[in-house]
Structure 1
Amino acid sequence: MRLRLALAALLCVSALAAPTPALARPQVRAAAFNHPGVLVSRAQLDFVKVHLTSEPWKSAWSALRASQYASLSWTPRPRATVECGPSSNPDYGCSDEREDAMAAYTHALQWYLTGDSRNATKAVQIMDAWSAVITEHIGSNAPLQTGWSGASFSRAAELIKHTYTGWANAGRFASKLRSVYLPTVVNGSPNTNGNWELIMTDALIGIAVFLDDRASFDKAVQLWRGRLPAYVYLASDGAYPKSRPGSKYDTKDEIIDYWHGQTTFVDGLAQETCRDFGHTGWGIAAAAHVAETARHQGLDLYAEGKDRLRRAMGFHSGLQLGEPVPSWLCGGKVNLGLGPVLEVGYNALHNRMGIAMSRTQRLVEQSRPAGVSHFLGWETLTHAENPN
């Protein structure tokens, strides 16, 4: 009897100690992030470094070095409250913050590509100036402003933190990204034009990687997966575009109104095509940025979004290049001005994945070197023909 009891007790203890069956365990990805890994990686920049005397990187590098953002005399203009109204009017610190963030990123790139510590010091000076005072973004454009600036600041911070050893206040900057920027972008923007949410998601995924914040990274991926299918139409979606989960625009009439009155839908058409190509280009670029950062972290969003991205790039590139506007599209008239916004997505889909994109290729090559606009900076330099 005593033997049977002892054996029963032993079996009970063994059962309690046994690992949970694999199918019952939640599937959690590794917490570690690859650094630097916000839009650009070390391998990408090492590739650029050895091609600075060849085209198209030579012209792109010259443009960066000649820009105001590259100057060692750049003086940051921080403020505690950044107030941005529609189209940044009023502009109380909006342009200053965006430009300072881009200057920080520009100096971070120069530091890595030249090894000149003066550029790292300047990037640190800019970020320290803002982290010392910034407390809030207000006004109707605050979410978009936070996205624009947060995207550039997170790229700059990521590159400096993981390639330079002299940033004493990195923790303070991180705390401001977490307390001032992250809460504004983390829940997206379901009912505004789609470029807002995609730009906010671009900032969110960059901030998440810099902060080693897996939950925020996963939230960015969730937002991207919900927004891209609601931003770029494919015939496989059905008669009408998909609605972004949680959006108030979910009936036929509401979707048509949200798509700026467009009633005919074809592959590659975007939610803002009939608004203007400038905002549409921002949306496409931001979607590619998110996928690029995710790729550096081992998640292939390009595999999920390649058809929408390539169709959107080709559709808008063709019209930007002068193809006739069909009568059924936007009443027969579109507002052009796509801008040099396709370098990252084109490199990923055409150069790395081998997808034929003739119209996009023509526009990208005609638009080089890509310069600076709000959250876009030096993408010919960083991503043209880049295999990494």
Structure 2
Amino acid sequence: MKTQTLKLWLCALVCVALVTVFVRCTKKTVSPVVDQPVESAAGNKKTNAVTFVHPGILNTQASLDYIANQANNNDADRLAAYQKVLDYCNTHSPSNGYKATIQVASSAGTQDETNFKGDALLSYALALRWAKTGNAAYATTVKQILDGWANAFQSITVVGTNPNPNQGSLEAAWAAPTFAAAAEIIKYYQTAGGQTGGWTAAEDSQFKSFLNKLKDNYINNTPNYHNNWVVSQGYAKMAIGIFLDSQAVYDSGVTLVKTVIPEIIATDGSMNGEICGHNDYTHFQYSLTGITYAANLAAIQFADYSIYTASSSRLLTGYQYQYKLIKGTVSPSCSVSGSPSNPIWPGIEIADRRFHTTETSYIRNLQAPYGLPGNDVGFLGWTSYTHHNVP
């Protein structure tokens, strides 16, 4: 009996083993193919199901908590920087000029441009104010602005003498990241008291449609002038990609920025194509600021510092050249009107936080705290409040 029982047990074990092998083989032949990790723009391996950091357009939950806590506890430097935010909020109101078609001009601004980009900046400044204070009225006004433009906007037309037909692409690339930065705060941030901005699914859907119109109809069609236009295009696509949770849109922006960096900034840091191409000390700072903001987005999202280090840290070399311009130790290859130190663009605050060299610190300290340089409405400002000495 023992021998027979042993044989029965051995037979059962063999059957189980055979069934197991059969089942494993069967599952292997019918199971779906699993996507392999893909290379990100950062060069890191990650799956296709990418999770973006939110809020993650220049600010994060942690950084907004940090600056709000400092300001609310009367840190003198943070309050001085926050005053720049208050100054803008207290001297500007929502335009209520939300239109289906806005008119822009190549050389001189229009009222529509002022309304469009000014409202983007105001929505961002008010979002920062809400994050600090928790006052729901500020979040409500931000949503009023964002909803107003998202519901009304359809197209951009170019007007004026000798208009550049592509001007709408640049205007869209300037406004979109600022609108998106404001929306990120209202959609995702939670104040110390646990308040949220009350962003609804309907608002989210309409705002995404608005960003897609700007991207698909204008930003994607930006001509490659190998200058600050492409920088703005790349930065805008990165910001839009973050809000849309679109890796493809985000990555295309990273590629644009990295490609144009060595085309704008020479190996010695000079940017004569920008400086002499416009005969001013403004447009080269558009490039430096746009690249810096793009680099900061990548650092937040994937701890990716490759834009900062791209082309042998060409961005830092550009700021070093700016320092030499200000100190008078180099000169561009043309006669340029104005002063290389008037005004300084707020990208320097983020650049100095990253590099913190003698040169970047010198430039940063010239005009800090930073609001909006010369009331220029191209790039968002207030970086002294949001970024100076923020971990």
SS of residue in 2 equivalent to 1:340: coil
* Partner Cα separation in structure 1 for residue 135 and residue 95 of structure 2: 18
- Name 2:143's counterpart in structure 1: 124
Say whether the 8 Å CA contact 2:172–2:218 is kept in structure 1. Answer: yes
SS of residue in 2 equivalent to 1:132: helix
- Name 2:161's counterpart in structure 1: none
- Name 2:328's counterpart in structure 1: 323
RMSD over aligned Cα atoms: 2.8
- Name 1:259's counterpart in structure 2: none
Counterpart of 1:108, as a letter, is A
- Name 1:220's counterpart in structure 2: 253
* Partner Cα separation in structure 1 for residue 135 and residue 300 of structure 2: 26
From 161, 175, 178, give the equivalent of 1:152.
178
Counterpart of 1:340, as a letter, is W
- Name 1:281's counterpart in structure 2: 285
Shift of 1:30: 3.8
Shift of 1:85: 2.0
Say whether the 8 Å CA contact 2:234–2:255 is kept in structure 1. Answer: no
Counterpart of 1:323, as a letter, is G
* Partner Cα separation in structure 2 for residue 73 and residue 83 of structure 1: 20
* Partner Cα separation in structure 1 for residue 354 and residue 313 of structure 2: 12
1:65 aligned onto 2:65: no
C-alpha distance 182-37 of structure 1, shift in aligned 2 (>3 A): farther
Shift of 1:281: 0.5
Gaps of 5+ in 1: 235-265, 351-356
1:362 aligned onto 2:383: no
C-alpha distance 339-25 of structure 1, shift in aligned 2 (>3 A): closer
Aligned counterparts, 1:40-119, within 5 A: 40-52=59-71, 53-67=74-88, 69-70=89-90, 74-89=94-109, 91-119=110-138
Aligned counterparts, 1:1-388, within 5 A: 13=26, 16-17=29-30, 26-27=38-39, 28-52=47-71, 53-67=74-88, 69-70=89-90, 74-89=94-109, 91-139=110-158, 140=165, 141-163=167-189, 164-168=196-200, 169-186=203-220, 188-190=222-224, 192=225, 194-234=227-267, 266-269=268-271, 271-274=273-276, 275=278, 276-298=280-302, 299-305=304-310, 307-320=313-326, 322-326=327-331, 329-331=332-334, 333=336, 335=338, 336=340, 337=342, 339-341=344-346, 342-350=348-356, 357-372=357-372, 373-374=376-377, 375-387=379-391
C-alpha distance 116-17 of structure 1, shift in aligned 2 (>3 A): same
Counterpart of 2:53, as a letter, is N
Shift of 1:345: 1.6
Q: Would you tell me which structure has more helix in proportion to its own residues?
A: 2
SS of residue in 1 equivalent to 2:172: helix
Say whether the 8 Å CA contact 2:56–2:297 is kept in structure 1. Answer: yes
Gaps of 5+ in 2: 1-14, 40-46, 159-164, 190-195
Say whether the 8 Å CA contact 1:294–1:300 is kept in structure 2. Answer: yes
Shift of 1:280: 0.6
SS of residue in 2 equivalent to 1:56: helix
SS of residue in 2 equivalent to 1:277: coil
The structure with more radius of gyration: 2
SS of residue in 2 equivalent to 1:377: coil
- Give the share of equivalent positions with the same residue, in percent: 23
* Partner Cα separation in structure 2 for residue 377 and residue 367 of structure 1: 13
